[in-house]
Amino acid sequence: MSAITESVTEVSSEFVEEIAQPSILNAVVKSKETDGEHWKEVADVISYSATGAGFYMARPVEPGQLISLMLPLPAEMRCYDHDKEFYRVWGLVQFCQKLGGEDEGSYHVGVAFTGKNAPSAYNEDPTRHFRISGMNGDGLWKIEPAKAAFKIRRDVRFWQSIECYVALVDKDKKSLSGAKSVTENISKSGAAVFSSLDVNVGDRVKFICEPHDYSGLAIVCNRQNAKDGRMRLHLNFVNAKFPVESLKLVEAKN
């Protein structure tokens, strides 16, 4: 039994929520250029959740840009149009990373889902950039026009649901209580996790992800009790980077 497995079995708990694992889908992506011209592209979706998706595109987009997607998202992942073949949703670009190697010339794009309709500010000026300002009652991201240039995140976030275990620890790093959870998104330096664990901002927790052979300490940066009824913990890893390279291997297998 590995050290990580032993840590997981220290505290038994109920599994909080089951979310479908990513599988490759195709999405039609649309947007407008600065000159008002429309463009459309079919993209390979490689990871997704109810609140966002990651996919490969042939053209670059800018963080803060709004784009329209149409994709066959599983019904249980949708906030509306559950009985339709395709899910039409707007996405706010969070990152756009150029790929190398055999995929050189393509881009890895991540978006946060914002809803069925574009905001009025977008209709007035399609080139305007936006930022996340909270969460709507339907569980999707709330956005507002950006007042300054988009600040690129230190690390790329992967919108992938991964089984994990989160445990509150004391000053001696001993587990006090814990719960099995799933991630909403994850990066080298942190994660957003669906969890019922009773913790506060500033608490230290142990984040364990056995499928990716990872165990590390994290600080709770934010705790959101969203209107969709799910508790989200925003964690910042403090002593070990998460091996995001292994996520790409998982994506390729699905």
Q: What is the residue-level pLDDT of the chain in tens, covering all 254 positions?
A: 333 333 322 222 222 222 233 446 899 999 987 666 789 999 998 878 788 888 899 999 988 899 999 999 999 889 999 999 999 999 998 888 888 766 667 898 888 899 999 998 988 888 889 988 777 777 788 888 987 656 556 677 787 889 999 998 876 566 678 889 999 889 988 999 998 888 887 788 999 999 899 999 988 887 777 556 678 888 989 888 999 888 765 444 33
Q: Residue 252 has what pLDDT?
A: 40
Structural domain span for residue 95: 25-145
Q: Are 132 and 115 a contacting pair, CB within 8 Å?
A: no
Please give the pLDDT value at position 126: 85
Does 184 share its domain with 214? Answer: yes
Residues 31 and 115 in one domain: yes
- CA 174 to chain centroid, in Å, comes to 29
CB 245 within 8 A of CB 227: no
pLDDT at 164: 94
* Distance of alpha carbon 5 from alpha carbon 130, whole angstroms: 42
- At which of 121, 145, 169 does a domain end? 145
What integer pLDDT is reported at residue 154 of this predicted model? 65
Which pLDDT score is estimated for 238? 84
Number of domains present in the structure of the chain: 2
Q: Is residue 153 part of a domain?
A: no
Name, in order, each residue with C-beta under 8 angstroms of 180's C-beta and a sequence gap of 6 or more. Answer: 13, 14, 15, 16, 163, 164, 165
CB 25 within 8 A of CB 46: no
Residue 19 confidence (pLDDT): 29
* Residues 131 and 42 reside in one and the same domain: yes
Smallest Cα–Cα separation from 235: which of 124, 127, 155? Answer: 155
DSSP classification of residue 244: T
- CA triplet 73, 76, 78: central angle to 5 degrees? 55
Whole-Å CA distances, 38 to 57, 60, 163, 188: 16, 14, 39, 35
